[in-house]
Amino acid sequence: MNWGGSIVVGMGAFMAFIVGSVFYMVRQDTDTLEEDNYYDQGMHYGEVYELKENVQRDQAMPTLRLRGDSLYIHFSTTRNTGNAHWKRRSDAKLDKEQVFQTESDSVALPLASPERGHWEIKLTWNGAGTAYQSIHHLFIP
């Protein structure tokens, strides 16, 4: 085969790759960069912003520590009620939500899933009559 034939074969392979990629992307049901409920999140953006501002204003950022098979959350106030939403970016089927209520300034939550790797934890809670929300990133080894 001469060099002209090699160029034609190479261009054909490249075009087949591009066409295959287009068909693959069109068949995908979801886009990983887009949230399922992005419209609702946009409608409530002001409320979420206020919850996060409360954390900054009151210096109420909780600390998270991973010990064994439990996640320990230490708050700046006592008597906290709320929930922890565990979100796994690589697999939405593993997302979990845990409700908690404390009398002291800390709580121990069992790990939401035995899956190891990166998790995003969104804490939404009420403490001392004020609502808060914070997002934490946790790596489970």
**Do residues 71 and 56 lie in contact, with contact meaning Cβ atoms separated by under 8 Å?**
no
CATH superfamily for 46-140 is Immunoglobulins (2.60.40.10)
Average the pLDDT over 36-64 and give the result. 90
* CA–CA–CA angle 91, 94, 97 (5° rounding): 135
**Do residues 71 and 140 lie in contact, with contact meaning Cβ atoms separated by under 8 Å?**
no
Q: Strand, helix or coil at 6?
A: helix
DSSP string for residues in 28-64 = -S--TTS-TTHHHHHHTHHHHHHHHHHHHHHT---EE
Please count the CA atoms within 13 angstroms of the CA of 140 that sit on its side-chain side: 19
Amino acid at 12: G
**pLDDT tens digits for range 51-92:** 999 999 999 999 999 998 899 999 999 999 999 999 988 888
Has this prediction a pTM greater than 0.85? no
**pLDDT tens digits for range 107-137:** 999 986 778 899 999 999 999 899 999 999 9
**Domain locations along the chain:** 46-140
User: Which of 68, 70, 120, 115 is closest to 94 using CA atoms?
Assistant: 115
